[in-house]
Amino acid sequence: MNAVHAIDVTRAQLFALVRRPAAWTIVAAMIVLNQVFSFVIPYLSYRSADPSGFDAGATPEELLAGTLPAQVVTNTLGGFPVFAGALALALGALVLGSEYGWGTFKTIVTQRPARLSVLAGQMLAVITFIAGTVVMLFAMSIVTSTAIALGEGESAALPSVSHLAEGYVGGTLVLSTWAIIGATLAVVLRSVALPVGLGIVWALGIENLLSAMARTALSALEPLRDVLPGVNAGSLVAALTPERIGSAAPGVAETVSGGRAITTLLAYVVVAAVVAAWCHRRRDVA
């Protein structure tokens, strides 16, 4: 693999990716979900006559405090383990799987650069796009929470720079893991629709079912539960947001330690990339 060629592919892929409406649709969906569930619904519940409907047992003061800038890391990362993660998986599948749907795979692999350079460049482009998306999510959360704070006469103080940086790096790791898993599924299955369907069913359904069974009925499933990507993503978010107010978002739970979660997520990225490289290198162009 040639590093220079991989960087050239990354630049070319980003040039194409930022011009794809489907990619921005996914980003818009992440932003809308984040804004609605982290700010709009809690704030409207706070302003209503019966604020207990959104978070049972929470007082109006707690509902308001949960939307302020001090909680920006918690509110931004809350949906990453499940909903934003599923959308990131769809993005990864979209980038690499489209080459098979468009029939451009043959053209790419029969010309320079080498196959592994192309694959590395595509995956780097996915991670770079994810990193930029996380910046946008944090920026929108800061703007919305600051507007609420100013409107309600509350403190607009943000968390420390180090805490924001930790949240950003952790959030980028979580979404990048899901995106690389989606990209690998697209390479293995040579399509977009099937990886997206399987990935979303896994992220939103199967993982939650296995976790619930391990927690309630079948404790023998705990070792399996503790290595699932969504569980580790939720554990990392929980470790990064100890100051959260009220109930944790779906999928956010301290199942394993933050350090173990980071190691597991990085292992998923490496293993997924190796599997994708093996399939990509050996695939027949016919």
**252-270 pLDDT, tens digit each:** 888 899 999 999 999 999 9
Q: Which position has the token pair 């619904």?
A: 41
Burial of 270 (0-12, 13-18, 19+ CB in 10 A): exposed
Q: Which two tokens stand for residue 175?
A: 């979404």
H-helix or E-strand containing 17? helix 3-17
Cis peptide bond upstream of 113, omega within 30: yes
pLDDT tens string 174-185: 999 999 999 999
Domain layout of the chain by residue ranges: 3-282
Q: Which position has the token pair 């301290």?
A: 254
* pTM for the predicted model, two decimal places: 0.90
**Separation between Cα atoms, residue 45 and residue 232, nearest integer Å:** 31
Burial of 237 (0-12, 13-18, 19+ CB in 10 A): buried
∠212-275-10 over CA atoms, to 5°?
105
CB atoms < 10 A from the CB of 166, how many? 17
Cβ atoms of 134 and 172 within 8 Å: the answer is: yes
pLDDT in tens, the chain (286 residues): 667 767 887 888 888 888 889 999 999 999 999 999 999 988 988 888 565 556 666 788 888 899 999 999 999 999 999 899 999 999 999 988 877 765 665 666 666 667 778 888 889 999 999 999 999 999 999 999 999 999 999 989 999 999 999 999 999 999 999 999 999 999 888 888 888 888 888 877 788 788 778 777 677 778 888 889 999 999 999 999 988 887 778 888 888 999 999 999 999 999 999 999 888 777 655 4
Q: Which two tokens stand for residue 55?
A: 């978070």
**Separation between Cα atoms, residue 276 and residue 106, nearest integer Å:** 17
| pLDDT attached to residue 139 | 97
